[in-house]
Amino acid sequence: VISKARRFPASPPPVEQVFPGIWSIPVPIPNNPLRYVLTYALELEGGGIMLVDSGWDAPEALEGLEAGLAVAGATLADVRGVAVTHIHPDHYGLAGRVREVSGAWLALHPADAALIATRYGDVDELLGQVAAWLRGAGTPEDEVEPLTRSSMEIREFVKVAPPTLLIGDGDPIAAPGWDIVAIHTPGHSPGHVCFHERRTGVVFTGDHVLPHITPNISVHPQSGSDPLGAYLTSLERMLSLGPLPALPGHEQRFPDLEARVRELLAHHEHQLEQVLELVVAGADTAWEVTMRFPWSRSWDRITGFIRRAAIGETHAHLVVLERRGLIAHEGDQPLRWHPV
Protein backbone atom coordinates (compact mmCIF):
# COMPACT_ATOMS: atom_id res chain seq x y z
CA VAL A 1 0.00 0.00 0.00
CA ILE A 2 1.38 3.34 -1.01
CA SER A 3 0.43 6.78 0.22
CA LYS A 4 2.00 9.09 -2.33
CA ALA A 5 0.97 8.03 -5.80
CA ARG A 6 2.50 10.22 -8.49
CA ARG A 7 2.94 8.83 -11.98
CA PHE A 8 1.47 5.69 -13.38
CA PRO A 9 2.15 4.25 -16.80
CA ALA A 10 -0.82 4.66 -19.15
CA SER A 11 -1.58 0.96 -19.32
CA PRO A 12 -0.34 -2.11 -17.50
CA PRO A 13 2.82 -3.56 -18.99
CA PRO A 14 2.37 -6.68 -21.12
CA VAL A 15 3.09 -10.18 -19.95
CA GLU A 16 6.68 -10.46 -21.08
CA GLN A 17 9.83 -12.47 -20.66
CA VAL A 18 12.09 -9.93 -18.97
CA PHE A 19 15.12 -12.21 -18.65
CA PRO A 20 15.55 -15.68 -20.14
CA GLY A 21 13.21 -17.86 -18.07
CA ILE A 22 11.73 -14.97 -16.02
CA TRP A 23 8.24 -13.77 -16.92
CA SER A 24 6.62 -10.58 -15.66
CA ILE A 25 2.86 -10.93 -15.17
CA PRO A 26 0.73 -7.92 -14.19
CA VAL A 27 -2.13 -9.20 -12.01
CA PRO A 28 -5.07 -6.76 -11.69
CA ILE A 29 -6.03 -5.21 -8.35
CA PRO A 30 -9.65 -4.15 -9.04
CA ASN A 31 -10.79 -0.70 -7.82
CA ASN A 32 -7.35 0.29 -6.63
CA PRO A 33 -5.18 3.14 -7.95
CA LEU A 34 -2.19 0.82 -8.10
CA ARG A 35 -4.20 -1.19 -10.66
CA TYR A 36 -1.94 -4.23 -10.72
CA VAL A 37 0.76 -6.07 -8.86
CA LEU A 38 3.67 -7.45 -10.84
CA THR A 39 4.17 -11.13 -10.15
CA TYR A 40 7.08 -13.01 -11.64
CA ALA A 41 7.14 -16.57 -12.94
CA LEU A 42 10.51 -18.33 -13.05
CA GLU A 43 10.87 -21.43 -15.20
CA LEU A 44 12.51 -24.15 -13.12
CA GLU A 45 15.08 -26.61 -14.35
CA GLY A 46 13.37 -29.97 -14.76
CA GLY A 47 9.96 -28.34 -15.24
CA GLY A 48 7.54 -26.28 -13.23
CA ILE A 49 7.29 -22.63 -12.23
CA MET A 50 8.16 -20.62 -9.13
CA LEU A 51 6.22 -17.44 -8.49
CA VAL A 52 7.45 -14.33 -6.74
CA ASP A 53 4.24 -12.91 -5.19
CA SER A 54 0.73 -13.83 -6.25
CA GLY A 55 -1.69 -10.92 -6.52
CA TRP A 56 -4.71 -10.72 -4.25
CA ASP A 57 -7.60 -13.08 -3.90
CA ALA A 58 -10.19 -11.85 -6.41
CA PRO A 59 -11.58 -13.65 -9.48
CA GLU A 60 -10.06 -11.05 -11.86
CA ALA A 61 -6.66 -11.55 -10.26
CA LEU A 62 -6.80 -15.33 -10.54
CA GLU A 63 -7.83 -14.99 -14.21
CA GLY A 64 -5.02 -12.51 -14.84
CA LEU A 65 -2.46 -14.80 -13.26
CA GLU A 66 -3.70 -17.81 -15.25
CA ALA A 67 -3.68 -15.80 -18.49
CA GLY A 68 -0.13 -14.64 -17.80
CA LEU A 69 1.06 -18.14 -17.02
CA ALA A 70 -0.52 -19.31 -20.29
CA VAL A 71 1.62 -16.81 -22.22
CA ALA A 72 4.62 -18.39 -20.48
CA GLY A 73 3.33 -21.82 -21.52
CA ALA A 74 2.29 -22.85 -18.01
CA THR A 75 -0.79 -23.38 -15.86
CA LEU A 76 -1.50 -22.92 -12.16
CA ALA A 77 -0.92 -26.64 -11.66
CA ASP A 78 2.72 -26.15 -12.77
CA VAL A 79 3.50 -23.84 -9.86
CA ARG A 80 5.94 -25.55 -7.47
CA GLY A 81 6.42 -22.67 -5.06
CA VAL A 82 5.35 -19.11 -4.22
CA ALA A 83 8.00 -16.89 -2.64
CA VAL A 84 6.10 -14.00 -1.03
CA THR A 85 7.84 -10.65 -0.43
CA HIS A 86 5.41 -9.59 2.34
CA ILE A 87 1.92 -10.25 3.67
CA HIS A 88 0.02 -7.32 2.19
CA PRO A 89 -3.08 -8.60 0.37
CA ASP A 90 -1.86 -7.60 -3.10
CA HIS A 91 1.25 -9.79 -2.74
CA TYR A 92 0.14 -12.62 -0.46
CA GLY A 93 -3.66 -12.75 -0.85
CA LEU A 94 -3.86 -15.23 -3.72
CA ALA A 95 -0.94 -17.46 -2.68
CA GLY A 96 -3.17 -19.81 -0.67
CA ARG A 97 -5.46 -20.25 -3.69
CA VAL A 98 -2.46 -21.11 -5.89
CA ARG A 99 -1.29 -23.60 -3.29
CA GLU A 100 -4.76 -25.22 -3.20
CA VAL A 101 -4.63 -25.87 -6.95
CA SER A 102 -0.97 -26.80 -7.29
CA GLY A 103 0.29 -28.00 -3.92
CA ALA A 104 3.07 -25.40 -4.22
CA TRP A 105 5.20 -24.49 -1.23
CA LEU A 106 4.52 -21.06 0.19
CA ALA A 107 7.41 -19.12 1.67
CA LEU A 108 7.24 -16.07 3.96
CA HIS A 109 9.56 -14.38 6.44
CA PRO A 110 8.68 -15.37 10.04
CA ALA A 111 8.10 -11.73 11.09
CA ASP A 112 5.25 -11.46 8.57
CA ALA A 113 4.02 -15.03 9.08
CA ALA A 114 3.54 -14.10 12.76
CA LEU A 115 1.03 -11.39 11.80
CA ILE A 116 -1.36 -13.56 9.76
CA ALA A 117 -3.62 -14.68 12.62
CA THR A 118 -4.15 -11.26 14.20
CA ARG A 119 -4.46 -9.43 10.89
CA TYR A 120 -6.53 -11.81 8.79
CA GLY A 121 -8.13 -14.02 11.44
CA ASP A 122 -9.76 -12.70 14.64
CA VAL A 123 -9.07 -8.97 14.41
CA ASP A 124 -10.81 -7.61 17.54
CA GLU A 125 -7.60 -7.26 19.52
CA LEU A 126 -5.81 -5.59 16.62
CA LEU A 127 -8.68 -3.12 16.08
CA GLY A 128 -8.42 -2.10 19.74
CA GLN A 129 -4.69 -1.54 19.33
CA VAL A 130 -5.22 0.52 16.16
CA ALA A 131 -7.77 2.74 17.93
CA ALA A 132 -5.36 3.27 20.84
CA TRP A 133 -2.55 4.13 18.44
CA LEU A 134 -4.80 6.62 16.55
CA ARG A 135 -5.69 8.33 19.85
CA GLY A 136 -2.00 8.43 20.73
CA ALA A 137 -1.41 10.16 17.40
CA GLY A 138 -3.93 12.85 18.40
CA THR A 139 -6.66 11.81 15.96
CA PRO A 140 -9.97 13.59 16.71
CA GLU A 141 -12.40 11.23 18.44
CA ASP A 142 -14.98 11.29 15.61
CA GLU A 143 -12.35 10.00 13.17
CA VAL A 144 -10.97 7.21 15.37
CA GLU A 145 -13.67 4.63 14.66
CA PRO A 146 -13.87 5.05 10.84
CA LEU A 147 -10.09 5.14 10.48
CA THR A 148 -9.76 2.09 12.73
CA ARG A 149 -12.07 0.13 10.43
CA SER A 150 -10.63 1.49 7.18
CA SER A 151 -8.51 -1.59 6.53
CA MET A 152 -11.33 -4.10 7.03
CA GLU A 153 -12.60 -4.24 3.41
CA ILE A 154 -9.23 -5.22 2.07
CA ARG A 155 -9.15 -8.35 4.24
CA GLU A 156 -11.65 -9.99 1.88
CA PHE A 157 -8.89 -10.21 -0.69
CA VAL A 158 -6.82 -12.65 1.29
CA LYS A 159 -7.11 -16.41 1.26
CA VAL A 160 -5.59 -17.11 4.65
CA ALA A 161 -2.91 -19.75 4.28
CA PRO A 162 0.00 -20.44 6.62
CA PRO A 163 3.44 -20.57 4.99
CA THR A 164 4.95 -24.01 4.48
CA LEU A 165 8.45 -22.52 4.53
CA LEU A 166 9.91 -19.74 6.66
CA ILE A 167 12.66 -17.75 4.98
CA GLY A 168 15.19 -15.67 6.87
CA ASP A 169 17.90 -13.25 5.79
CA GLY A 170 20.46 -14.95 3.56
CA ASP A 171 18.42 -18.12 3.13
CA PRO A 172 18.60 -19.77 -0.28
CA ILE A 173 15.30 -20.34 -2.12
CA ALA A 174 14.86 -23.84 -3.53
CA ALA A 175 14.45 -22.99 -7.23
CA PRO A 176 16.27 -25.48 -9.49
CA GLY A 177 18.32 -23.70 -12.16
CA TRP A 178 18.49 -20.44 -10.19
CA ASP A 179 20.66 -19.05 -7.40
CA ILE A 180 18.28 -17.03 -5.23
CA VAL A 181 18.83 -15.69 -1.72
CA ALA A 182 16.40 -13.80 0.48
CA ILE A 183 17.39 -10.38 1.84
CA HIS A 184 15.39 -9.29 4.89
CA THR A 185 14.33 -5.67 4.26
CA PRO A 186 12.01 -4.65 7.13
CA GLY A 187 10.30 -1.25 6.98
CA HIS A 188 7.27 -1.37 4.68
CA SER A 189 6.40 -4.57 6.55
CA PRO A 190 8.40 -6.15 9.41
CA GLY A 191 8.99 -9.34 7.42
CA HIS A 192 9.49 -7.84 3.97
CA VAL A 193 12.09 -9.70 1.91
CA CYS A 194 13.70 -9.02 -1.44
CA PHE A 195 15.01 -11.89 -3.55
CA HIS A 196 18.42 -11.61 -5.22
CA GLU A 197 18.91 -13.96 -8.17
CA ARG A 198 22.69 -14.12 -8.39
CA ARG A 199 22.98 -15.82 -11.81
CA THR A 200 21.29 -12.94 -13.65
CA GLY A 201 21.98 -10.32 -10.96
CA VAL A 202 18.32 -9.37 -10.89
CA VAL A 203 16.64 -8.30 -7.62
CA PHE A 204 12.93 -8.83 -6.93
CA THR A 205 12.20 -5.81 -4.76
CA GLY A 206 8.51 -6.28 -3.80
CA ASP A 207 7.31 -2.96 -2.33
CA HIS A 208 10.68 -2.16 -0.75
CA VAL A 209 11.95 -0.23 -3.80
CA LEU A 210 9.59 0.97 -6.55
CA PRO A 211 10.68 3.09 -9.53
CA HIS A 212 8.48 6.20 -9.00
CA ILE A 213 6.23 5.94 -5.97
CA THR A 214 7.49 5.62 -2.43
CA PRO A 215 6.21 2.77 -0.28
CA ASN A 216 4.22 3.66 2.80
CA ILE A 217 6.34 3.32 5.95
CA SER A 218 3.98 3.61 8.92
CA VAL A 219 3.92 3.27 12.65
CA HIS A 220 1.02 0.96 13.56
CA PRO A 221 0.48 -1.75 16.18
CA GLN A 222 2.31 -4.38 14.09
CA SER A 223 5.07 -2.17 12.70
CA GLY A 224 7.71 -2.46 15.40
CA SER A 225 8.78 0.65 17.30
CA ASP A 226 10.83 2.34 14.55
CA PRO A 227 9.73 1.19 11.09
CA LEU A 228 11.32 4.13 9.24
CA GLY A 229 14.63 3.53 11.01
CA ALA A 230 14.39 -0.12 9.93
CA TYR A 231 13.47 0.94 6.39
CA LEU A 232 16.43 3.33 6.04
CA THR A 233 18.78 0.58 7.26
CA SER A 234 17.18 -1.84 4.77
CA LEU A 235 17.73 0.68 1.96
CA GLU A 236 21.37 1.11 2.93
CA ARG A 237 21.83 -2.64 2.76
CA MET A 238 20.66 -2.61 -0.88
CA LEU A 239 23.43 -0.16 -1.81
CA SER A 240 26.06 -2.86 -1.36
CA LEU A 241 24.40 -4.84 -4.18
CA GLY A 242 25.34 -2.13 -6.68
CA PRO A 243 23.52 -0.96 -9.82
CA LEU A 244 21.53 -4.13 -10.46
CA PRO A 245 18.35 -4.49 -12.53
CA ALA A 246 15.23 -4.49 -10.35
CA LEU A 247 11.91 -6.28 -10.76
CA PRO A 248 9.48 -4.46 -8.43
CA GLY A 249 5.99 -5.34 -7.23
CA HIS A 250 4.29 -2.34 -8.92
CA GLU A 251 4.79 0.10 -11.81
CA GLN A 252 7.54 -1.33 -14.04
CA ARG A 253 11.01 -2.84 -13.97
CA PHE A 254 13.94 -0.45 -13.75
CA PRO A 255 17.62 -0.76 -14.60
CA ASP A 256 19.50 0.69 -11.60
CA LEU A 257 18.51 -0.33 -8.10
CA GLU A 258 21.36 1.59 -6.47
CA ALA A 259 20.36 4.93 -8.06
CA ARG A 260 16.73 4.53 -6.96
CA VAL A 261 17.78 3.59 -3.41
CA ARG A 262 19.82 6.80 -3.19
CA GLU A 263 16.75 8.79 -4.31
CA LEU A 264 14.60 7.14 -1.64
CA LEU A 265 17.17 7.85 1.09
CA ALA A 266 17.25 11.51 0.02
CA HIS A 267 13.43 11.63 -0.13
CA HIS A 268 13.10 10.53 3.49
CA GLU A 269 15.83 12.92 4.69
CA HIS A 270 13.86 15.74 3.04
CA GLN A 271 10.61 14.51 4.60
CA LEU A 272 12.35 14.34 8.01
CA GLU A 273 13.36 18.00 7.60
CA GLN A 274 9.79 18.97 6.68
CA VAL A 275 8.34 17.15 9.70
CA LEU A 276 10.93 18.73 12.00
CA GLU A 277 10.03 22.20 10.67
CA LEU A 278 6.35 21.56 11.43
CA VAL A 279 7.14 20.47 15.00
CA VAL A 280 9.32 23.56 15.46
CA ALA A 281 6.38 25.62 14.14
CA GLY A 282 4.16 24.19 16.89
CA ALA A 283 2.47 21.08 15.45
CA ASP A 284 2.62 18.88 18.56
CA THR A 285 0.82 15.66 17.61
CA ALA A 286 1.25 13.26 14.68
CA TRP A 287 -2.26 14.32 13.58
CA GLU A 288 -1.35 18.04 13.55
CA VAL A 289 1.86 17.40 11.63
CA THR A 290 0.00 15.19 9.14
CA MET A 291 -2.72 17.79 8.50
CA ARG A 292 -0.16 20.51 7.84
CA PHE A 293 2.21 18.34 5.81
CA PRO A 294 2.48 19.31 2.10
CA TRP A 295 1.04 16.08 0.63
CA SER A 296 0.66 15.81 -3.13
CA ARG A 297 -3.11 16.40 -2.76
CA SER A 298 -5.20 18.39 -0.31
CA TRP A 299 -5.92 16.92 3.12
CA ASP A 300 -9.69 16.67 2.61
CA ARG A 301 -9.06 14.43 -0.41
CA ILE A 302 -6.88 12.09 1.66
CA THR A 303 -9.50 9.84 3.19
CA GLY A 304 -10.01 6.38 4.66
CA PHE A 305 -7.08 4.03 4.76
CA ILE A 306 -4.84 6.51 2.90
CA ARG A 307 -5.46 9.05 5.68
CA ARG A 308 -4.54 6.47 8.30
CA ALA A 309 -1.41 5.54 6.34
CA ALA A 310 -0.45 9.23 6.18
CA ILE A 311 -0.76 9.57 9.97
CA GLY A 312 1.32 6.40 10.39
CA GLU A 313 3.96 7.73 8.02
CA THR A 314 4.24 11.05 9.86
CA HIS A 315 4.47 9.18 13.15
CA ALA A 316 7.30 7.06 11.72
CA HIS A 317 9.22 10.23 10.85
CA LEU A 318 8.63 11.66 14.37
CA VAL A 319 10.12 8.51 15.89
CA VAL A 320 13.29 8.83 13.80
CA LEU A 321 13.65 12.53 14.69
CA GLU A 322 13.35 11.60 18.36
CA ARG A 323 15.94 8.85 18.03
CA ARG A 324 18.28 11.41 16.43
CA GLY A 325 17.82 13.66 19.47
CA LEU A 326 16.06 16.47 17.59
CA ILE A 327 12.62 16.18 19.22
CA ALA A 328 11.09 14.46 22.26
CA HIS A 329 7.59 13.55 23.38
CA GLU A 330 5.51 13.45 26.53
CA GLY A 331 2.21 11.90 27.36
CA ASP A 332 0.38 8.98 25.87
CA GLN A 333 -3.15 9.86 24.67
CA PRO A 334 -2.03 11.83 22.80
CA LEU A 335 1.74 11.81 22.54
CA ARG A 336 2.86 15.44 22.45
CA TRP A 337 6.01 16.23 20.46
CA HIS A 338 8.33 19.19 20.88
CA PRO A 339 11.78 20.22 19.67
CA VAL A 340 14.71 19.77 22.07
Q: Which residues bind Zn ion (CB under 5 A)?
A: 88, 90, 207, 249
Q: Closest separation between CB of residue 214 and Zn ion, Å?
A: 12
Residue 229: closest CA among 114, 329, 323 = 323
Residue 18 phi, psi dihedral angles, 5° rounding: -90, -25
Beta carbon nearer to Zn ion, 88 or 308: 88
Beta carbon nearer to Zn ion, 36 or 287: 36
Q: Closest separation between CB of residue 26 and Zn ion, Å?
A: 12
The gap from C-alpha 272 to its chain's centroid, in whole angstroms, comes to: 20
Residue 65: closest CA among 39, 35, 88 = 39
Q: Closest separation between CB of residue 273 and Zn ion, Å?
A: 26
Q: Closest separation between CB of residue 250 and Zn ion, Å?
A: 6
Residue 147: closest CA among 303, 332, 334, 318 = 303
Q: Closest separation between CB of residue 210 and Zn ion, Å?
A: 8
Q: Closest separation between CB of residue 78 and Zn ion, Å?
A: 25
Beta carbon nearer to Zn ion, 78 or 207: 207
Beta carbon nearer to Zn ion, 56 or 287: 56
Beta carbon nearer to Zn ion, 88 or 329: 88
Q: What is the residue type of 20?
A: P
Rounded to whole angstroms, the Cα distance separating 220 from 204 reads: 26
Beta carbon nearer to Zn ion, 35 or 198: 35
Q: How far apart are the first and last CA of the chain?
A: 33
Beta bridge partners of 17: 23
Q: Where do runs of H (alpha helix) occur along the chain? A: 59-71, 89-92, 95-102, 110-113, 116-120, 124-136, 141-148, 227-239, 257-280, 286-292, 304-323
Say if CB 228 and CB 218 are below 8 A apart.
no
Residue 87: closest CA among 235, 181, 193, 212 = 193
DSSP state letter for 151 = G
Beta bridge partners of 26: 38
Q: Closest separation between CB of residue 152 and Zn ion, Å?
A: 17
Torsion of CA 11, 310, 134, 144, to 10 degrees: -60
Q: Closest separation between CB of residue 338 and Zn ion, Å?
A: 32
Q: For residue 19, count CB atoms less than 10 angstroms from its CB and return exposed for 0-12, middle for 13-18, buried for 19 or more.
A: middle
Rounded to whole angstroms, the Cα distance separating 171 from 174 reads: 9
Beta carbon nearer to Zn ion, 62 or 87: 87
C-beta nearest to Zn ion: residue: 88
Beta carbon nearer to Zn ion, 43 or 207: 207
Q: Closest separation between CB of residue 108 and Zn ion, Å?
A: 13
Beta carbon nearer to Zn ion, 209 or 261: 209
